[in-house]
Homo-oligomer: A and B are copies of this chain.
Amino acid sequence: MGAPEPPGSRRPGGRTARNRAAVVEATLAELARHGYPGLTVENVAERSGVHKTTVYRRWGGVDGLIVDALDAAGEDDWPAPVTGSWETDLRAVAYEVVDTFTDPERAAVPSAVVHAAFHSERAATALHGFLAGRHSRAADAIARGALPGSVDAAAVVRSVTAPLYCRLFITGERVNRDVADQAVAAAVAAVRAGVYG
């Protein structure tokens, strides 16, 4: 089987782009509604109005749908928080994770994607790329917020998100703004102690 044509590679703004947008939107909606185990090409085709054979031909299957939805999400204009200080930027990043994952409606899609990554190498690779992009944008933001230039900004961002993701997806412990505040305080202490360069 040949590699599928990269979605959206033809006639930007034409039917190909419209189909991709509709399929990505339908994939996210289906993930939000049924989670990863309930995602099917049939349902995405029906919801998007794109013919099932087109979805199979261009996306290959469920994994391809998730990969493309993550790629599309990574191309968005998510603004990393810019508050003027790297410490409050970090807090804003941490709060955004907490607020997203404690709201069942907002949590549905990202949770389903993490779930998918456990099933599929391709989904995992796409998730890793998506998170690396988010971390990198947040790192750029805190680096502009007067973080000392020698500090590894990406490591600082990861040190704040890791305790939250670990609780959410591994240990099943609660997350809330207090947990986020503690993660930020720990990151700030570590930066001041020179742990991140």
Contacts and interface: CB of A to CB of B under 8 A. Distances in A.
A162 interface: yes
Contacts of A188: 193
Interface residues of A, number: 36
A186 interface: yes
A171 B115 contact: no
Would you call the interface of chain A mostly helix, strand, loop, or mixed? helix
B155 A162 contact: no
Interface in A115-148: 115, 117-118, 124-125, 127-128, 131-132, 135
A185 B189 contact: no
A132 B167 CA distance: 11
Contacts of A173: 128
A158 B163 contact: yes
A186 B190 contact: yes
